[in-house]
Structure 1
Amino acid sequence: MGRGRVEMKRIENKISRQVTFSKRRSGLLKKAHEISVLCDADVALIVFSTKGKLFEFSSDSSMEEILERYERYSNAQKQQAAPTLSESQDSSRWTLEFPKLMSRVEVLQRNLRNCMGEDLDPLSMRELQNIEQQIDVGLKRIRTRKNQIMNESLSDLQKKAKTLQDRNNLITNQLKENEKRLVDSTNLNQQANINSPNSSTFLLLAPPPRPRSLPLTIGEAFQERVLTEENNESQAHEQPTTITTRMPPWMLQHLEK
């Protein structure tokens, strides 16, 4: 009696499933060893049991080298297939998106014309009210933004004005201090000139009266007489003022000579 064909499905009996796993695992490892020896192929076999136990087999090369080789090959295959796949996906996606985008553009253009007051005849009362509300909302936002910009500009101008005022006050204070220093220095210089014994200022001193003992010429006597009469007339109309003047010694010496 020949061996019947085994149905490929999960063995429900736990013991039978474990026995079958052990037999098939040994045969699988044997086959992997045979193909690696007969065909000089690099073979790596990894098996995990239902309990998580690891069973592995590798040919003369180590398992790590075979896995690294597999990863390099797999990445190269993915990179080669990626452009073709992406192009096909992009073309199909744009083919589906193009009609949607065109319809969307038409709707937006129609809404823009309606907001500009064009093509209003086909619209119903509700649609007109919606457009009016949208325009009102847009105007409120525009006015709010305009007021914000104006307030910001006004605040900047106030800051600049305050800065200029502070600078003006500083310059004014500096000018006042400089004027005060100049006045103080001028007063000190005048005081020093007054107190200095070598000052070049002097009082004009009136010449002393001529001695009566000196002889006078005719012309001198006449001039003295005329001057005396004029002085008497002026004193009769005006209040006499006493002028006390002093002359430096060198002028007195010159007059005596």
Structure 2
Amino acid sequence: MGRREIPIKKIASTVTLQTTYTKRRDGILKKANELPVLCDADVGLLMFSPTGRLTKFSSCGSIEDMFLRYIDQHDEYQGSVENEERLCRSLKHSKYEEEMLEMIAKKEALERKLLELNKQHDEAEEKMSFYQPKVENINTIGEANMCQQHLDGAIQRVEKLKEQLLVKVSESTIQEINELQAVDIMSTKFSTEDSAGCKRKRNPSINSPEETNSPTLALNY
């Protein structure tokens, strides 16, 4: 069965209307993204949702740049534009305002990152001060106890790590000893077999016991 054709008329249901707008908006934005890549075209797009929410897209620069480019076109391509000078000033102001907002946002983001780094630096210095305390700067029993707790905790962690390393070393040593013992056993076995083979070569009677014990026929006259 083919797809049912949807009549082009205003949708009565608010929920269906919003859903349809969202789906078709996403489809239009996808095509607008693909067209500059496929055809090396410059695309500008403006859409307002039924609730007044703005969606804009520009493949090169800002959407204000696209409108300024449109205004700068010759009359045969541009068409009639009312209050062109006022519109041009408004677009330029909007463009500069958007650029300033972007710069302010970047500046604020950098400031937040710098504050976070300074905070991490201060916390690291505070922790280091407990491991390398300056005794002359300790003025209260509470500060002394805090430094002692940090040092005790560090010592316990080091001792635990030391025990784990010793266990690993012991397991590795035992494994090496077992491997050496296995090699020694194999070497002893091969040496015994080689010695027995040499004896059989020097004394053939040892190599063939059947001949030594075979019955003999004696003739007496």
With CA pairs under 8 Å and 6+ residues apart, which has the higher RCO, 1 or 2?
A: 1
Mark yes or no: TM-score above 0.5: no
TM-score (norm 2): 0.44
